[in-house]
Structure 1
Amino acid sequence: MGQDRARPWLRSTSTGYRRPPVRAVQEAGQGPEGLVGFVLAAVLVGALTGLTAATFRLALTGAGGWRDRLTDLARGHGALGLLLLVGGGAVCTAAAAALVRRVEPHAEGSGIPHVEAVVEGRAGPGRFRILPVKYAGGLLAIGGGGLALGREGPSVQMGSSVAVLVSSVLRRSRADLRLLVAAGAAAGLATAFNAPIAGGVFVLEELLKSFHPRATIATLVASASGFAVAAPLVGAAPDFHVPPLADPRLSGAPWVLAVGVLTGLLGVLYNRAVLTGLHHVDTSRRPAEVRAAVIGAVVGVVAWCGPQLVGGGDELTQQALLGQGAVPVLLGVLALRFALGVLSYAALTPGGLFAPMLVLGSQCGLVVGLVAVQVAPGSAPEPAALALVGLAAFFTATVHAPVTGLVLATELTGSTNQLFPMLGACAVAMLVAVVLRSRPIYDLLTDRATARAVA
């Protein structure tokens, strides 16, 4: 009733609630004139985010190439080379952690939980210095240190920081600021993976949890403008190549079901492992830089043993999507990357979870595919097809965003004829996660970030 007294145009009538008068909507910035200005602001946010995220992606690629060359050089110099590699990883990771702890704590981790908290109104937008700390810290941790983290988290949070700056300069309302923050996040994800549709869908499905027209317009416009600006710099082709895959057959359904069950279980375990790792970090008395240095040193040892095992893992995902590998080796890689991903995120440096999820999901699907070919060579789906299915299903199990998982897998590979088995596996993986009462990873991380901010 108090709300009705404050806004009499909300009072009910015999036909329901009255629609607000045009003047009231326009005063709130929702009229046609306000919408045009809002859309232009979203275009600007997307364009600036696309430029920022594209240069970050290029710099990360360059840093990764530098790390690979250093690794090759170190492996040719015995114990001295190992010491150099381990020390370099420790220094880079500790430097990234120091930037976060001493300059901008909100820049830690994926950044998506902080963006989600801002969009929900549970946290303030933060300071603009999140952007340079996220940029530099991500290059140090992922590019220099080789942590098993992804570029998409930093790109998403840098997009939200761009939105805060644009909203401040253009003097947009607080409600518009939240929507523009979400729009910047969409542009960041679109640029990180060359996936403009997935960027928009993820924000609407996971962050906003709404397809309200105003939010949808801002998100899709920013995602499109960000992709358009970034494309000349990073290209517009899908990030991964998948060989031509045969159309799915009903006889392959049991194997698709198996992928859904396994990725669902693995996703639940992964979420719990990440939160457990963070709990140990939050209760530790050791300085953040020391913990990060130890983690960076461990990653350096792994890089010495296998350079392709560290970093975001795009090469591992690509090999899986080509159907390449042997089951024992893949199981080892799967276990190592699972542990390495949890350990890397516990360093509290800038870095995302998407790319590590893609590695785990595609590896899991490929293992099932290779077993299926041995057990039922005449009816089993192609291993590469099940790797693609596993990629989408594992993402769904961890994030609880099946539509984003389907769209992301499709845009990442350009493959469209596996949508039906992906849909089935995503449904099963989601069912497993819900039955086991596993909450979405970003909801868990958002609760943690909010609780720490209050404390």
Structure 2
Amino acid sequence: MNAIGAQLALPCDGAACSFRNGIPHFTQGDMSGEQSEEKLNGLCALSVVSLITGMACGALGALFRLCLEQADRLRNLFLAWAHTQHAAGIVFVVVGASAATALAAWLVRRFAPDAGGSGIPHVEAVLNRELPAGALILVPVKFIGGVLAIGAGLALGREGPTVQMGASIAHWLGVRFRRNESDCAVLFAAGAGAGLATAFNAPIAGSVFVLEELMRRFETRVAAAALGASAGAIAIARVIHGDAPDFKLASLAYPAFGTVPAHLILGLVVGIVGVAYCKAILWALAASDRLARWPVEAVAAIVGGVIGLLAWYQPDLVGGGDPITQRALTGVGTISAIAPVFLVRFALGPISYAAGTPGGLFAPMLVLGAQLGLVFGIVVGHVLPALPIDPVTFAVVAMAGFFAAVVRAPVTGIVMVTEMTGSFTLLLPMLTTCFVAMIVPMMLGCAPIYDSLGARSRRQHARNRRNGSR
């Protein structure tokens, strides 16, 4: 047997293979016991730091969310007061929204240029070693600028700022705890995931986001840090903000097998609309680039003024959009009522993003997905009255599908929507819809939105370096 074992002992990635009593045993050939123990201690230390990092990110993210909710309340109170001022009221609203948006853009330009927009493309660029992590000043700029912009009514999400702020805090703590470069990169990604977990009260989605979108690989160290940071973040955030899911949803039954073709068609529809939304965002950014000779504050003020004008007439259509999503998830609305809201929000998201202020894309995408799915469910119910159709199920599924079509991170979308709605009966329809929703953009040659935004950011940095060297 020893002779046979000697013949079969082949190299296995640095591991030595031997036979004992006819049973193969594998040992790491180039790692001593001391090295193995050192590696384990390093992983434990990284896990502890990631937990501390997550707690810091959770506290900041929860505070940011509370400030945004307060800003929404103040905006509604201001609008109610302005309507009592008759003709002068509309001037107050438009000027106020313009001033807040312009101030947010000025903060970004003056103190932290990388704080504009979602922040996720910047996080990915840092992880790809294309850009430095940036100074800690980014955190207050992102926080204050996000409250000003989203509070003014821009159709932007809270998750982008929390992701970038979480990553920045994690990197700063990694340096303070004297972690090596590799650990600091892992903590940077884990802090970003903790930010997403805090924004949507979705800890598993935060961890999956790190593995699927940011790092795009599964490693023990990355997984341990991501889980630790998300766990620490959500523990603190739930103490501050509560532990209920973001959206209240009635109990949904498992969809019948006969609805599978409908969910496949939903994936096709969502995929096509997702491609159009990506193009709309890039078109809006290209339009803002053509105004590069204007001060960024002027462009932001114009966008803010448009938002303020809309808020004067339709205050429910501005802001992050969670109330709109909640209405869709309760099945409220007819096709004739939902369609105009969908079209306005479809245009409002890209226009708001082009202002260059802090703010994310996830929440506006969830609004569009929920509305699109609800309309689709209503249509299917009319076309196939024999099927037990609940339009709300299509609204939930379309949220994940639209996310998959635009971001191209289907597992993150499925887990995030499941955690946000507390609905675990729609996993199979989500898989079906997300599968098609991913295939359609790839067939149409549409890149994931953050890849496109990252490429745009790289071109801008290269152009700035060339201009600076002249």
The alignment's TM-score, normalised by the length of structure 1, stands at 0.94
Quick one: distance in 1 between partners of 2:270 and 2:85? 41
CA drift at 1:439: 1.1
Quick one: distance in 2 between partners of 1:30 and 1:198? 31
For 1:277, the equivalent position in structure 2 comes to 284
For 2:344, the equivalent position in structure 1 comes to 336
Structure 2 residue identity aligned to 1:327: I
Contact 1:255/1:368 (<8 A) preserved: no
CA drift at 1:17: 4.1
Contact 1:369/1:380 (<8 A) preserved: no
The one-character-per-residue Cα deviations of 1:125-168 (angstroms, maximum 9, x if unpaired) are 1111110000000000001x110000000000000110121012
Matches within 5 A, 1:365-444: 365-379=373-387, 381-444=389-452
Quick one: distance in 2 between partners of 1:404 and 1:313? 20
Gap change, CA 1:223 and 1:77, over 3 Å in 2? same
2:224 to 196, 217, 221: 217
How many pairs are equivalent?
441
CA drift at 1:422: 1.2
Contact 1:128/1:164 (<8 A) preserved: no
Structure 1: tracts of 5 or more residues without a match: 1-12
For 1:105, the equivalent position in structure 2 comes to 113
Quick one: distance in 2 between partners of 1:441 and 1:288? 23
CA drift at 1:306: 1.2
Quick one: distance in 1 between partners of 2:325 and 2:119? 23
CA drift at 1:25: 9.7
1:182 to 189, 195, 199: 189
For 2:24, the equivalent position in structure 1 comes to none
Matches within 5 A, 1:23-422: 26=35, 31-143=39-151, 145-284=152-291, 285-379=293-387, 381-422=389-430
Gap change, CA 1:236 and 1:108, over 3 Å in 2? same
Percent identity (aligned): 47
The one-character-per-residue Cα deviations of 1:78-126 (angstroms, maximum 9, x if unpaired) are 2211111111100000000000011110100000111111112221111
The one-character-per-residue Cα deviations of 1:370-403 (angstroms, maximum 9, x if unpaired) are 1122222221521111100110100000011111
Structure 1 residue identity aligned to 2:135: R
Structure 2 residue identity aligned to 1:260: G
CA drift at 1:411: 0.2
Contact 1:42/1:222 (<8 A) preserved: yes
Q: Which moved more, 1:376-385 or 1:224-233?
A: 376-385
CA drift at 1:433: 1.2
Structure 1 residue identity aligned to 2:189: A
The one-character-per-residue Cα deviations of 1:320-343 (angstroms, maximum 9, x if unpaired) are 111111102211111100100000
The one-character-per-residue Cα deviations of 1:180-239 (angstroms, maximum 9, x if unpaired) are 010000110001000000011011101110111110110111001100011111111100
Quick one: distance in 2 between partners of 1:142 and 1:165? 26
For 1:449, the equivalent position in structure 2 comes to 457
1:22 aligns with 2:22: no
Quick one: distance in 2 between partners of 1:262 and 1:125? 38
Secondary structure class of the residue paired with 1:22: coil
Quick one: distance in 2 between partners of 1:200 and 1:170? 22
Quick one: distance in 2 between partners of 1:325 and 1:378? 22
Secondary structure class of the residue paired with 2:253: coil
Q: Which moved more, 1:394-403 or 1:366-375?
A: 366-375
Gap change, CA 1:25 and 1:106, over 3 Å in 2? farther
Larger-Rg structure: 2
For 1:6, the equivalent position in structure 2 comes to none
Quick one: distance in 2 between partners of 1:417 and 1:25? 48
| CA RMSD, 1 decimal | 1.7
Quick one: distance in 1 between partners of 2:41 and 2:377? 55
Quick one: distance in 1 between partners of 2:34 and 2:161? 35
Quick one: distance in 2 between partners of 1:25 and 1:341? 55
Q: Which moved more, 1:238-247 or 1:217-226?
A: 238-247
Structure 1 residue identity aligned to 2:212: E
The one-character-per-residue Cα deviations of 1:164-184 (angstroms, maximum 9, x if unpaired) are 210121121111111101000
Q: Which moved more, 1:46-55 or 1:114-123?
A: 114-123
Structure 2: tracts of 5 or more residues without a match: 1-8, 16-28, 464-470
CA drift at 1:38: 1.0
